[in-house]
Structure 1
């Protein structure tokens, strides 16, 4: 048997939960995240935007492989798995939510036709300066916090590292799903999940089936490489920006030293700048 693939790879996550025949798995995951049980539970949904996952799309470092669905009660839900950190994640999520909300009504319909929009971000990095691993945000009044203006928008952030660092509660469906998604989960822990939860058993069977498919593994590896390349690009850009900022700072120090009457040799020795560069800077100051 081939090695179990990482379910948090966003390509594989979309294959696991974002296809028509995996609808029961997505319903199980969403009910766990949204704490829906009994009559409030999601019973049926339609998976939208089932675009073909081509190699070109998978290799796009900035491409978003999210899952969008609509429940039988006309709620639209978007689920996104994020392994790599994005700056301004909250603004990015709000922008995307606004676009989904605006697209939920057709031209000519009035605002009463707006559909409730729920955006769920599952993050493989720490994001919020809060201790718990799952936070949801809605529109509540500042002074009277029990008053909610509307339930039309709901924004969730789930931070996997914080989940791993906290206590595990096997009776909690969300805890079970997050342990299933964790690539560090042991075979013994997986066996316990499979025995406890039939839906997770089906999810693990689907994951195993996908892991045995050569094309799936190829696209999985392509997505892993695209994400590594993105992280490397960001790291290089930051280091380059830091170096440019450092050089600019040295030049500014040299300029001030020259303005204070220091000679070229002294400025060169203390800043490490080449003598000719300091001399050129001195000439510019004299103009």
Structure 2
């Protein structure tokens, strides 16, 4: 029986790209999404944090990432983020920098540093003011020259991915991640016909067909629903607090404008009073002068 499986769910994603049994999927995925960055293609990898399918259903895979190293000692990180939060961009940079710095042990030589390539798959929109779905970040000067061959950070927003027809391997993987849940292995579209994509689809089928795997998948789906509900509630609360803060600031600004207006009006009254007092004093002076002239 066919049951839809979302490849973005943590246990499925880590089975696809983070298990030793599917290194071919990981290698193809990395070569596809990093084709613009790699001087030489990846031929073999060691997974640094292999996924153990015996992990219990109660385990919380809050960080859904895969780390690997190839024969050239280059380091690769793949992370999928289903929810976007305010400080995600600094986190992306921090995790890349942390991986880069972890290469050196105490007393290590800087010549041992190798490029670190990070791939972030976002299921939500991070950059609302940018229409493109793919982003590439490197350490460059103002003339576009690299300081060192340090690697790249690649970021893909699936919410913006709408490529038709799908042609490149990178596009196949992104569409697979975005629409894999709706695919039927008995009627795969043309873009899913390459053998490597069929192999990825068979992994989804395994979660659909094996009761234990499907139960694990459903458990993770429920956990994600709870996470989303909590995140949305926090976002709504944050938005309400922000709106209340903006309203309070607007009220303070209005009160300040009113205070300044009253102060200006008071200053005008004081100036008018001073003018009146000066006029009365002038009248009194002239009257006194007139009285003196009359007495003479």
TM over 0.5: yes
Compute the displacement of 1:245 (Å).
Answer: 5.9
Q: How does 1:34-53 map to 2 (within 5 A)?
A: 34-35=34-35, 40-52=40-52, 53=55
Q: Which residue of 2 aligns with 1:110?
A: 109
- In 1, Cα distance between the equivalents of 2:235 and 2:37? 45
Aligned length: 251
- In 2, Cα distance between the equivalents of 1:122 and 1:7? 12
Please say if 1:95 is aligned against 2:94: yes
Gaps of 5+ in 2: 260-296
Q: Which residue of 2 aligns with 1:193?
A: 191
Aligned counterpart in structure 1 of residue 173 of structure 2, from 163, 177, 180: 177
Q: Which residue of 1 aligns with 2:154?
A: 156
In structure 2, relative to structure 1, the CA distance for the partners of 1:177 and 1:253 (3 Å cut) is: closer
- In 2, Cα distance between the equivalents of 1:8 and 1:112? 37
Deviation per CA, 1:114-168, whole angstroms, max 9, x where unpaired?
Answer: 22111110111222332222211101111x12x111121310101112212x433
In structure 2, relative to structure 1, the CA distance for the partners of 1:2 and 1:99 (3 Å cut) is: same
Gaps of 5+ in 1: 261-287
Q: Which residue of 1 aligns with 2:58?
A: 56
Is the contact between residue 180 and residue 193 of structure 1 (CA under 8 Å) also seen in structure 2? no
Q: How does 1:1-287 map to 2 (within 5 A)?
A: 1-35=1-35, 40-52=40-52, 53-58=55-60, 63-128=62-127, 129-142=129-142, 144-145=143-144, 147-164=145-162, 166-170=163-167, 172-181=168-177, 182-183=179-180, 185-187=182-184, 190-195=188-193, 197-243=194-240
Bigger CA radius of gyration: 2
Is the contact between residue 20 and residue 47 of structure 1 (CA under 8 Å) also seen in structure 2? yes
Deviation per CA, 1:186-225, whole angstroms, max 9, x where unpaired?
Answer: 5487342343x11111111122123222222222222222
